[in-house]
Amino acid sequence: MKLNPFDVLELHIWMSSSPRFGTRSQFDATVKDRGDHDYSDYMSRIDQTMTSVRPMLLKDMHNRLTFAKEWSEEIGAPLTTTESWGPWWHMDHKDLDWKWLYDWCEQCMGLASDYGLWGATPWNYSHPYWANWKNIEWYKKVNSGFLNGKE
């Protein structure tokens, strides 16, 4: 497939694409809606996953970014991501914590700068209907870090 006419290569780079993450968190089997669900077991699996295999998930992210960077260089288009880093689904819910996701996405925004991404979003959840939207200082910090890390 000839992609050379494209002006930008925009890829979604999610941890939920990792089979390792999926197997341990059971992300794919989790019901994903705003209904009345008990997500405490899922959150426990996320915590265990991030404790036990975070270095491997990080290596997987490096591999994905290496592939993406090489592809962007091959077609001569800047690399960007508008949906990225965490799982493609997370929400405001009494059983679901955001702390782990803040930490993960902040680390990955540093990688975005390291790998020369032209643009990146801190995560999928930067919409005003999520409570984390109010954490303006975090957004300023990670976006400034990304912008300051670019040459």
Residue 32 lies in a domain: no
User: Which structural domain, as residue segments, surrounds residue 70?
Assistant: 9-17+56-149
Residue 126 lies in a domain: yes
Q: In degrees rounded to 5, what are phi and psi of residue 84?
A: -165, 170
Sequential pLDDT tens for the chain (151 residues): 566 677 899 999 999 999 999 999 998 888 888 788 899 999 999 999 999 999 999 999 999 999 999 999 999 999 999 989 988 888 888 898 889 999 999 999 999 999 999 999 888 776 666 777 788 898 899 999 888 886 5
Residue 141 lies in a domain: yes
Residue 60 lies in a domain: yes
Whole-model pTM?
0.89
Q: Domains in the chain: how many in total? A: 1
For tokens 């929400």, the residue is 91
Sorted by sequence, the CB contacts under 8 Å of residue 42 that are 6+ apart come out as: 25, 26, 30, 95, 96
Residue 51 lies in a domain: no
